[in-house]
Amino acid sequence: MAGIRETKKRETRQAIMQAAITLFSEKGFEKTSIEELARAAGIGKGTIYGYFQTKSDILHAFCEDELEILHEELTTNADREIPILRQMVSIYMSEFRHITENREFARHFMQQTAFPRDVDMAKHLANEDNYFKLLFPLLEKAQERGELRNDVDLLYITGHFYGLYLLLVSAWFTGRVPTEEAESALETLFRQAIEGLHPRPEHISTEGAQHE
């Protein structure tokens, strides 16, 4: 019975999420009411509050789903010595496909992710912290393999990748990068960043060179 209840809960949560994606896209986040979400999901208004207290909570749930996607990617590659470039492209393309399934919802979601409201800041920071906990070990291993400089803070390295990912998403929205070219574009951007993050070679000092 417990298994059946859990399955039902997952199905209900998914129905609410799907209704939100559809209605937020069609009507906008602010103009969508909880009552409308309930009708679209085929449940009572009170049931929604058993899962999400506010509409913003639904967006945060979408963030949690992104973290689950990241976790699955890392688990898949956990025991494989895959170059950091391929790992980063794989992770962020999974996120890209996840958020761009619905254009209008993706636009609102990315806005809330990049520029969270003050009232949502605590949950946003908690999601960020969980994101870092998953990603940092991957970057540390790349540093140990000599693929990334070890004198750069992991937060800033993550910022390089995430900033370029946001650039790709923006270019997709404007039509500069079509869906079929997204992966190759992201790989190019990431490769350029990684080349700039390679360990520094040993340099002969200018003074030393002058004495030779």
Task: Single out the residue of 58, 63, 1 nearest to residue 29, CA to CA.
Answer: 58
Note the CATH number of domain 1-53: 1.10.10.60
Residue 121 CA to residue 119 CA, distance in Å, equals 6
Domain boundaries, the chain: 1-53, 55-196
The SS3 of residue 78 is coil
The torsion of the CA quartet 63, 32, 97, 14, rounded to 10 degrees, works out to 70
Q: Which CATH class is domain 55-196?
A: mainly alpha
Dump pLDDT digits (tens) for 148-198. 999 999 999 999 999 999 999 999 999 999 999 999 999 999 999 999 877
pLDDT given for residue 104 in this prediction: 76
Q: CB of 82 within 8 A of CB of 146?
A: no
CB 180 within 8 A of CB 129: no
